[in-house]
Structure 1
Amino acid sequence: MAQTPQQRAANARFAKETQTKMGKPASALKRKENLKSPISKGWIVLLAFVLCGGVIFEVLRLFF
């Protein structure tokens, strides 16, 4: 089965990237880092409670 022009271009890009990586140490290669949120989940929950807690307490006060 013949390659399509898109496949040919993708293969050429992959070959070029692979060729540039050859011979370099593992530390020199760029790796994708897992992005972490700068704020922990606990602080996000606390912030949401502070922002929305007043509304929740006001609604409870109206009914009870």
Structure 2
Amino acid sequence: MVQTPQQRRANERYAKNEAAKRGKPVTKSKPKQTSKAPVSTTWVVLLAFVVCGGLLLELLRVVPEIWSYVTSMLSRITG
């Protein structure tokens, strides 16, 4: 059954009075939990070294080829 506005106001007053009788609840603060990373720092550093090291070696291999291509194009344009 649906409450009438008068019943709703009466229920709100009653709930307010009961809450005042009980007082405020004691709030307990939970200690902060330090979250542990799922992967250790060592593995992250190792993975970064492998990925960045591979990228660096690949760049060292490709840059001379690109440079020779650019110089050959410039010599064709100017020559």
TM-score range, shorter chain: 0.3 to 0.5
Give TM-score scaled by structure 2 length. Answer: 0.37
- Structure number with bigger Rg: 2
